[in-house]
Amino acid sequence: MQFAEPTKPRQEIRVISATPRVHRLGILLSGRGSNFLAIAAAIAQGRLANATIAVVISNRRDAPGIAAARSAGFATEVIEPQGRKRAEQDAEIVASLRAHQVDLVCLAGYMRLLSAEFVRAFPQRILNIHPSLLPAFPGLEAQRQALEYGVTVSGCTVHFVDEELDHGVIVLQKTVPVLADDDEHTLAARIIVQEHVAYAEAIDRVISGKYRFAGRRYVAAQTETE
């Protein structure tokens, strides 16, 4: 007589989905902080997922942006120049960012040039937003420069920060028309609306990690369905 082999217990297969990593942002600002507030709103509304603001740092104690951050309950620090060399102030800021375990530094109207040591402390992990279509009109008063040059299209640029002014690899740009009756204020008002959209979108692209550099070009990685 043959006996059937006992059936083996069916092995249970568990599929465990990894929890997406939450990236910690460090915001640097010098003024009203409208781009900081736009980033915070994008996170709160779920438009910028997998990100949290770890700390907001200003070089000015009277900056409205730092007051807004404090009122909203974010960790804040004021690190003023106080006659020190830029590298000394930057070293203190870098130490603060590291203490708050920041993954990505976002300059949001930060009106100080970063030292080479600062940039090297966060390689390809510092973003800036500029109110022009770089490489056109870098530096201060970009809207005035655009109007004086007579362009018919302007906009904003989110780019990685390197050791040169407004020079790093561009993540994305958004455009606005320059109207015949524009002045610096009306043009700036339309550009900043696009800045508030562009910065959150750029942060989302960067923290996804789905990109590569081809020379100076930011190239989004293709998905399997593309």
* CA dist 174 → 53, 77, 171, 183, 204 (Å): 24, 31, 11, 19, 16
Q: And the tokens for 197?
A: 């959209």
Catalytic residue list contains 159? no
Return the residue matching tokens 């438009």.
47
> Helices marked H in the chain — which ranges?
34-44, 64-71, 86-99, 116-121, 142-149, 184-208
- Residue of 130, 159, 185, 196 marked catalytic: 130
Backbone phi, then psi, for 28, in 5-degree steps? -115, 130
Q: Are 126 and 219 in contact (CB under 8 A)?
A: no
Q: Annotated active-site positions, please?
A: 130
